[in-house]
Amino acid sequence: MVKNVYFDNAATTPIRAEVVDVMHEVLKDNFGNPSSTHAFGRSAKTQIETARKSIAKHFNAHPQEIIFTSGGTESDNMLVRCAVQDLGVETVITSKIEHHAILHAVEYLAERKLATVLYVKTDADGAVDYTDLAHLLAADDSKKLVSLMHINNEIGTILDLERVSNLCKTHDALFHTDAVQGVGHYAIDLEQIAVDFLSAAAHKFHGPKGVGFSFVRKNSGLQPFILGGSQERGLRAGTESVHNIVGMAKALEIAYAKLEDEQQYLKELKAQAIKQLTDAFPDIHFNGCCSDMERSTFTLVNVALPISEEKASLLNFHLDLNGIACSKGSACQSGSAKGSHVLEEVVPVALKNWPSIRFSFSVFNTQDDVDYLVKTLATFAKE
């Protein structure tokens, strides 16, 4: 029997029912423009500021340090481009396995000669080479920004935020982290960790799409990114998406209230997936270090499957036909097909013609889903 199984939670997560409820209330009863000074506007404004306080609290941040945006892409663009434009950053250090929201933003800066872009070495696990990072930071006296993602969205490798922030402090560099895949899944204490800027998106933690936030440390000197009204302390003009912001705050509140239980649940689910996949495909390769529960997030596995090239071309179609949603990601083989830039860096050359797939989990997945997935894959491989 065909089931509907959603294993693409790194792409987006289903919204929680409680979040829909609060958003519905706002849409129904709180339609005022937060910039209006009458009671309708004041009420909407209160909703936004309450959400801001609630979000800041989870990160030990000041409410003023939370700037609402349309999501991860906008936050990444805003923070990296403004650091260069407004803060005198001359060199941006990033890696080749960042999300395109960062990679294309730094390419833009480099093409226009607005900044020099350096790429820190990463290894086959997708881990940053901290010695190389220290070396790049010490290379010259230019003002530097390090932009490295907290959790890699394709292979799950976790960055040691504290270690990078200490290196940045030592070398007087700014530190931005794209924490889109980490916020809502991991505790992040911004009083303990000297991150200057952070990006987050609500739809990765069971909130609505089209809303996120930038953490901008107090007195950063950042200038307006979108010009217009004085919303978001003038940094990001435009009438706020009140229902989305309130929904995001609710989603984050639930995520952090249930953090330990949900982390435990997902760790067990991922461990089961690893075991069952290995039993079914003894030669399977776990891309990056995603089978290492300490160094890779519990929310995903990315595997290269030992199946024939002929079958590989039908794999995604077959999974879709069987109701399984996941993400295809293949390393570029010939240079002609556009593969994943992340897998290109981490998949061993000998395995580059195996199909790679990412299965990403949420608390709405069950053990039954994992059983169904592995059975479907095993049957397909044998047919």
Ligand X SMILES: Cc1ncc(COP(=O)(O)O)c(C=O)c1O
Looking only at residues 97 through 116 of this chain, which bind ligand X when binding is defined by CB under 6 A? 99, 101
Report the C-alpha gap between 57 and 125 in whole angstroms: 33
Report the C-alpha gap between 39 and 265 in whole angstroms: 44
| In the complex, least distance from residue 234 CB atom to ligand X, rounded to whole angstroms | 23
Report the C-alpha gap between 218 and 200 in whole angstroms: 18
Number of H helices, E strands in the chain: 11, 13
The residues, any chain, with a CB within 8 Å of residue 324's CB and separated by 6 or more, are 5, 7, 372, 373, 376
Query: Taking contact as CB under 6 A, which single stretch among the options 176-184, 254-262, 278-286, 299-307 is the one that binds ligand X?
Result: 176-184
CA atoms within 13 A on the CB side of 94: 26
User: Is residue 188 within the footprint of ligand X (CB under 6 A)?
Assistant: no
Q: Which of 147, 153, 302, 356 binds ligand X (CB under 6 A)?
A: 153
| In the complex, least distance from residue 204 CB atom to ligand X, rounded to whole angstroms | 7
User: Is residue 72 within the footprint of ligand X (CB under 6 A)?
Assistant: yes
* Residue 325 φ then ψ, to 5°: -100, 125
User: Is residue 201 within the footprint of ligand X (CB under 6 A)?
Assistant: yes
User: Is residue 181 within the footprint of ligand X (CB under 6 A)?
Assistant: yes
Query: For this structure, is 290 an active site residue?
Result: no
**To 5 degrees, how large is the angle CA 65–CA 67–CA 72?**
120
User: Is residue 73 within the footprint of ligand X (CB under 6 A)?
Assistant: yes
DSSP 8-state code for residue 159: P
User: Is residue 71 within the footprint of ligand X (CB under 6 A)?
Assistant: yes
Report the C-alpha gap between 324 and 316 in whole angstroms: 9
Query: Taking contact as CB under 6 A, which single stretch among the options 16-24, 72-80, 161-169, 303-311 is the one that binds ligand X?
Result: 72-80
User: Is residue 58 within the footprint of ligand X (CB under 6 A)?
Assistant: no
- Residue tagged active-site, from 82, 289, 290, 332: 332
User: Is residue 180 within the footprint of ligand X (CB under 6 A)?
Assistant: yes
Task: Kindly list the residues in this chain that would bind ligand X in the complex (CB under 6 A).
Answer: 71-73, 76, 99, 101, 149, 153, 178, 180-181, 201, 212
Which residues does the annotation mark as catalytic? 332
